[in-house]
Amino acid sequence: MRAAFLAGVVAGYGVAVPVGAIAILIAGLTARTSLRVGAGAALGVATADGLYAAVAVTGGAALAGVIAPVAAPMRWIAATVLIALAGQTAFAAIRRYRRPARAAAGTGMTTPIRAYGGILALTLLNPMTVVYFGALVLARQASGDLPPAAAAAFVVGAFLASASWQLLIAAGGSMVGRVLTGRRGRLLTALTSAVLIMALAAHTVTS
């Protein structure tokens, strides 16, 4: 069981550490709002990774094979959501800069619960996470399913690893937010985040 837990930790870091659109979104969101909101978003990612780890250990290879043919349209859906978030982030930042008293906070993810739900939904649109966990489980055990205790340990390890990394990203975003506390600084943070999210949306559909 300890080996399965450690394997889950490695798997969780393996899928979480590469900096992609979600990581940039969490950092930018935290910088524009608060660490509590960023932590909610971070736990949304970790929950998605934990769910996919659970799916992988219970269905692994078969589910990876089912997801692979529809990976392209799901990437387009994810890219569309990212573009919408980028546009909304940029628009709200400009409005907040011009009219700070009347502006909304940005993407609509203004509370920890909203950030958790929004980022969870966005992360679940990533089909490659299912394929990643499915392939990893296949590599570890070519025949049969993991015993229930080992499967649970694997899922917990993946969740904790993902959560720790995403929370670290949120903490980094919070520190950036403390430095860039002025109106211009927050405008720059939001617009930079929007541009990067747009670029990563394009990368999502071309990779």
The per-residue pLDDT for 198 is 77
Q: Model pTM greater than 0.95? A: no
Residues of the chain with pLDDT under 70: 18-21, 59-68, 70-71, 74-75, 78, 81-82, 85, 100-108, 126-146, 176-183, 185-186, 189-190, 193, 196-197, 200-201, 203-205, 207
What is the dihedral angle through the alpha carbons of 199, 131, 10, 59, rounded to the nearest 10 degrees? 150
Quick: pLDDT tens for 172-183.
888 766 665 466
The per-residue pLDDT for 66 is 65
Token duo for residue 73: 């349209």
The per-residue pLDDT for 199 is 73
The per-residue pLDDT for 57 is 77
From CA 134, how far away is CA 136, in angstroms rounded? Answer: 5
Burial class (CB in 10 A: 0-12, 13-18, 19+), 27: buried
Please spell the DSSP secondary structure of 87-151, one letter per residue. HHHHHHHHHHHH-TTT---SSS--SHHHHHHHHHHHHHT-HHHHHHHHHHHHHH-SSSPPPHHHH
| Mean pLDDT computed over every residue of the chain | 76
Quick: pLDDT tens for 153-171.
988 999 999 999 999 989 9
Q: Name the residue ranges covered by the structural domains of the chain.
A: 2-206
Three state DSSP letters for 38-69: HHHHHHHHHHHHHHHHHHHHHHHHHHHHHHHH
The per-residue pLDDT for 203 is 64
